[in-house]
Amino acid sequence: MSKFWVILSHTYLSKLKSKAFIISTIISLLFVVAVANVQSIIDLFADDEVEQIAVIDESNTLFVPLSTNVEAATDDFELVEFNGTEEEGKEAVINEEYKALLVTTLNDKRLPEASYYANDISDSGNQIQLEQQVQQLKIALATGYSGIDEQELMEINAPVTFQVTALDETAKTEEELNQARGIVYVMLFLLYITVMSYGQLIMTDVANEKSSRVMELLVSSAPAVTHMFAKILGIALLGLTQVGSIIIVGFILIKSKQEEYMGGIFEYLGFQDISPAVYIYAIVFFLLGYLVYATIAAMLGSLVSRVEDAGQMMLPLIFLIMIAFFIAMFGLEAPDSTIVKVTSFIPFFSPMIMFMRVGMLDIPTWEVILSIGILALSILLFAYIGAKVYKGGVLLYGRSSSLKDFKKALALSKKDS
């Protein structure tokens, strides 16, 4: 077994068995299960009883059409005719026999008016629904008086036809854009979270080996570059395990509740029919994005002597990924702007932003290839510098963690002429 695999599997297995990993995975899985069952959980707490709202109909004509409409519109409450005075009605509401009291009258133009009484009016749901129903009743009555028939009324109320068409033939349709937006969202969050958590993991792991001084032993048995990349990939594998287990559990849950969810949030996110090219781009940009940040994290981790200092070193990395994230978010609304175009070629930002452009716009292939090329080259460059710094950095112990150390580490590994 080559040393690369020894280090990779050690990194992977020792982390996999660690309490922190197991606990965080279990918590994430519980969260996924909870989200998938959110409807059932809400139902669990909701009472099944249909609330009753008392109605005193002073006009004697409004109750029947109103209660029919309410019955058609909602299951949340029903209307009950109340035979008594208004005072008695209010009394009944205070005694919680009814949820609320509605008093309906016809004014001098023979149009309906209503007063709503409830113990508290913070729960505005019922109130708004009732108001709408009364409004509709009013429109129906008013149009009836002025001689407009039902057919005409429906035409008046029908929503306007407003079609959006892109003239550029290759531009994405509105539907495609929504789909792209969905997968871009998911990808952005995934990359953001991955870099934040696993980048941190790499950095603390390297710092840990340095502070326990085991590093000198390690680099004496295997080259620093091998060590660095085995570590980066070992932790990537760990991330895949964690994210993968969450996705698998999520997928199974969704499958089992397909009818419940299909066409809901998934349609909104545009997961139903996306072209395979977008998936391939997603994977390519995700992996490259992870690699570029992971390489820098490992390099920075090799510069600190103590685990406590690792957080400090993480800061620049967090800033970079945050900037990328915000530009990408901004770009979702304005994918054509110059800043988006420019940053989609800058290595730190391109995994997120170029992917967003690919998803949202129809851009020439050479631009994508150029961006991927720049990204890949800069990964190689960072790997080269990283390995140099790593080799020197692991032998460098000191309190400070600054640019000076960076230079010192480089000098340590460099051949003096």
Partner 1 sequence: MTLVLNQVTKRFGKDTAVNHLSLKIPEKEMFGFLGGNGAGKTTTFRMILGLLDITEGEISWNGEPINYSKSHLIGYLPEERGLYPKLTVKDQIIYLGKLRGMRKKEIVSELESWLERFKVPEYMNKRVEELSKGNQQKIQFISAVIHKPKLLILDEPFSGLDPVNVEMLKRAVIDLKEQGTSIVFSSHRMEHVEELCEHLCILHKGNPVVQGSLRDIKRSFGKKNLIIHADFELDFLGDESGVVQYKKVAEGCELQIENEDVSQQIFSMLQGKGFIRKFELEEPSLNDIFIEKVGAKYE
Ordered DSSP codes for 55-121? EEESSSSSHHHHHHHHHHH-SSEEEEE--S-HHHHHHHHHTTSSSEEEEEEE-TTS-EEEEEEES--
Residue from 150, 216, 260, 362 in contact with partner 1 (CB under 8 A): 216
The amino acid at residue 68 is T
Does position 221 interact with partner 1 (CB under 8 A)? The reply is yes
Contact segment (CB under 8 A) with partner 1 among 34-42, 54-62, 117-125, 409-417 equals: 409-417
Residue from 126, 204, 371, 413 in contact with partner 1 (CB under 8 A): 413
Q: How far is the CB of 38 from partner 1 (least distance, A)?
A: 38
Binding mask 379-398 for partner 1 (x = CB under 8 A): ------------x---x---
Residue from 16, 153, 222, 249 in contact with partner 1 (CB under 8 A): 222
Does position 16 interact with partner 1 (CB under 8 A)? The reply is no
Does position 49 interact with partner 1 (CB under 8 A)? The reply is no
Closest to partner 1 by CB, 209 vs 309, is: 209
Residue from 138, 172, 223, 254 in contact with partner 1 (CB under 8 A): 223
Closest to partner 1 by CB, 154 vs 217, is: 217
Does position 218 interact with partner 1 (CB under 8 A)? The reply is yes
Q: How far is the CB of 412 from partner 1 (least distance, A)?
A: 7
Which are the contacts of 27, defined by CB distance < 8 A and separation ≥ 6? none
Tokens of 303: 């510069």
Buried b (16+ CB within 10 A) or exposed e, 311-332: eebbeebeebbeebbebbeebb
Q: Are 285 and 174 contacting, i.e. CB atoms less than 8 angstroms apart?
A: no
Ordered DSSP codes for 287-316? HHHHHHHHHHHHHHHTT-SSGGGHHHHHHH
Closest to partner 1 by CB, 226 vs 344, is: 226
Does position 306 interact with partner 1 (CB under 8 A)? The reply is no
Q: How far is the CB of 220 from partner 1 (least distance, A)?
A: 5
Residue from 60, 107, 170, 220 in contact with partner 1 (CB under 8 A): 220
Does position 238 interact with partner 1 (CB under 8 A)? The reply is no
Does position 83 interact with partner 1 (CB under 8 A)? The reply is no
Which are the contacts of 387, defined by CB distance < 8 A and separation ≥ 6? 224, 225, 228
Closest to partner 1 by CB, 6 vs 246, is: 6
Element (H, E) at 214: none
- Strands laid side by side in the 77-81 sheet: 77-81, 51-57, 100-106, 112-118
By CB under 8 A, how many residues form the interface with partner 1? 27
Q: Are 118 and 100 contacting, i.e. CB atoms less than 8 angstroms apart?
A: yes
Q: Are 70 and 79 contacting, i.e. CB atoms less than 8 angstroms apart?
A: yes
Report d(CA 395, CA 397) in Å as an integer.
6
Residue from 53, 62, 219, 313 in contact with partner 1 (CB under 8 A): 219
CB atoms within 10 A of CB 92: 15
CA angle 415, 394, 240 (to 5 degrees): 120
Does position 411 interact with partner 1 (CB under 8 A)? The reply is yes
Closest to partner 1 by CB, 160 vs 217, is: 217
Q: How far is the CB of 238 from partner 1 (least distance, A)?
A: 16
Q: How far is the CB of 393 from partner 1 (least distance, A)?
A: 12
Contact segment (CB under 8 A) with partner 1 among 26-34, 100-108, 132-140, 212-220 equals: 212-220
Residue from 10, 110, 306, 404 in contact with partner 1 (CB under 8 A): 10
User: Up-side HSE of residue 72: CA atoms within 13 Å toward CB?
Assistant: 6
Calculate the alpha carbon distances from 349 to 167, 180, 239, 344, 365 in Å: 30, 19, 21, 6, 18
Applying CB under 8 A, the residues found at the interface with partner 1 are 1, 3, 6-7, 10, 14, 209, 212-223, 391, 395, 411-416
